[in-house]
Amino acid sequence: MKGHIGPDAILSSVIKGNAYGHGIKAFVPLAEECGIRHFSVFSAREAQVALEAVTHGSVIMIMGHIGDEAVPWAIEHGISFYVFDFHRLQIAAEAAGRIGRKALVHLELETGLNRTGFTEDEMERLVKAVRGCPDLAVTGVATHYAGAETVSNYLRIQKQIALFREKCLWLQKRGVNIGIMHSACSAAALTYPETIMDMVRSGIALYGFWPTGETKMYYLLNYSCGGEDEISKAPSPLRRVMSWKTRIMSIHDVSPGQFVGYGNTCMTTVSSRIASVPIGYSHGFPRDLSNSGFVLICGRRAPVAGLVNMNMILVDVTGIPEASTGDEVVIIGRQGEQEVTVSSFSEMSQYLNYEVLVQIPAHIPRIAVD
């Protein structure tokens, strides 16, 4: 990603959603080792966790929720945060005045997502409020795109890019020092390079996942392969950093004609070996994978047999006679020649990478390995 965005733009690692399931505490030091010095979180709560995890004085920026009561805390710790309405602006200014330290704010501008941000008719008032307030340091101006990962949003994104530039210029002309301009998420940076500006807020790609298949196709066609004929052979420049593993809990034999697990969704047709694996929907293993997902055991695919339970799945290891209790089970990741990708979990939603990752509960230990 650094190579793609160039040396002049800051690469902010987005670590909301517990670092997309990777664990903020485990991920932040690894990112810092790679030279990252800027982290974006959603909430003040996440900023607290991030603050404990950073060791290089990295910058932390809150892009979303910060309750009024947390604003003084953020200011005291030098944590920057989005301001997207006058309520937040006033709370920030007052707190900063009381504390005697400037609030580092990023003004979020509404450009077409219609979620948060200052709208067109609030701009005049915004200029007055910011210019008249010595307690606010405008560190940046930001906006967010309405789905840069899908080509059907092309026109909407183009309009947003133009409007964002226009609004930034407008602010500058009125004497507002806007700091850095930033708008790109992973998909925007990868498919609309003009959105890279002064900083890129990249989440999913830094964990090695494509925002969507479309983004991947577009990127490979434009940057890393010889054309459409080559696309299937082009190596993906992204490397997934997480794998998810457990061990076989127990194995037993089931004779032909028996139902396996709850209900009657799975019946053995031959003498079978069924392994129980201590992972279920309470761990974020999707229930949709009942009778359709698979895990890796001894370098081979073992299909899920029956329904995904709350804490367990049963998998068919009839074809893997050497499998035994205690063997490693790969839920996501590589084992031998085989790989389970997050997107192979299910093809049902284009945002599934994101959803599956963040549903891996925080209490499962994250271990950094070489």
- Give the count of beta carbons closer than 10 Å to the beta carbon of residue 282: 12
Pairing of strands 136-142, 294-297: unpaired
Q: Spell out the alpha helix ranges (H) of 16-153.
A: 16-20, 24-33, 44-53, 71-76, 86-99, 123-131
Residue 203 lies near ligand PLP (rule: CB under 6 A): yes
Quick one: which H or E segment has residue 192? Answer: none
Q: Please choose, out of 180-188, 266-274, 306-314, 322-330, the segment that lies near ligand PLP by the rule CB under 6 A.
A: 180-188
Residue 202 lies near ligand PLP (rule: CB under 6 A): yes
Q: Is the dihedral of CA 203, 208, 210, 215 positive or negative?
A: positive
The residue (of 18 and 186) whose beta carbon lies closer to ligand PLP is 186
Q: How many residues bind ligand PLP (CB under 6 A)?
A: 13
The three-state DSSP-derived secondary structure of 268-297 is: CCCCEEEEEECCCHHHCCCHHHCCCCEEEE
The residue (of 21 and 211) whose beta carbon lies closer to ligand PLP is 211
Residue 21 lies near ligand PLP (rule: CB under 6 A): no
As a whole number of angstroms, the distance between CA 356 and CA 209 comes to: 12
Binding characters for ligand PLP, 297-326, by CB under 6 A (x = yes) = ------------------------------
Binding characters for ligand PLP, 130-169, by CB under 6 A (x = yes) = --------------x-------------------------
Residue 63 lies near ligand PLP (rule: CB under 6 A): yes
Q: Which amino acid is at 293?
A: G
The residue (of 191 and 272) whose beta carbon lies closer to ligand PLP is 191
As a whole number of angstroms, the distance between CA 184 and CA 71 comes to: 25
Nearest to 314 by CA among 352, 346, 268, 348: 268
Quick one: which H or E segment has residue 339? Answer: strand 338-340
Q: Of 2, 262, 281, 354, which residue is the catalytic one? A: 262
3-state helix, strand, coil in the chain (%, to 5): 35, 20, 40
Cβ density class 101-113: b for 16+ within 10 Å, e for less: bbbbbbbbbbbbe
Q: Please choose, out of 45-53, 95-103, 200-208, 215-223, the segment that lies near ligand PLP by the rule CB under 6 A.
A: 200-208
23 Cβ partners below 8 Å, 6+ apart? 362, 366
Q: Please choose, out of 67-75, 183-191, 238-246, 286-294, the segment that lies near ligand PLP by the rule CB under 6 A.
A: 183-191
Whether 2 is catalytic:
no
The residue (of 144 and 273) whose beta carbon lies closer to ligand PLP is 144
As a whole number of angstroms, the distance between CA 185 and CA 195 comes to: 9
Binding characters for ligand PLP, 204-223, by CB under 6 A (x = yes) = xx-----x------------
The residue (of 206 and 295) whose beta carbon lies closer to ligand PLP is 206
User: How many residues belong to the chain?
Assistant: 370
The residue (of 105 and 204) whose beta carbon lies closer to ligand PLP is 204
For the bound state, the minimum distance from the C-beta of residue 118 to ligand PLP, rounded and expressed in Å, comes to 15
For the bound state, the minimum distance from the C-beta of residue 49 to ligand PLP, rounded and expressed in Å, comes to 16
For residue 5, give the 3-state DSSP assignment.
helix
For the bound state, the minimum distance from the C-beta of residue 144 to ligand PLP, rounded and expressed in Å, comes to 4
Residue 187 lies near ligand PLP (rule: CB under 6 A): yes
Q: Please choose, out of 28-36, 201-209, 225-233, 259-267, the segment that lies near ligand PLP by the rule CB under 6 A.
A: 201-209
Residue 117 lies near ligand PLP (rule: CB under 6 A): no
For the bound state, the minimum distance from the C-beta of residue 220 to ligand PLP, rounded and expressed in Å, comes to 18
Residues that bind ligand PLP (CB under 6 A): 14, 16, 63, 144, 185-187, 201-205, 211
| Catalytic sites, residue numbers | 16, 262
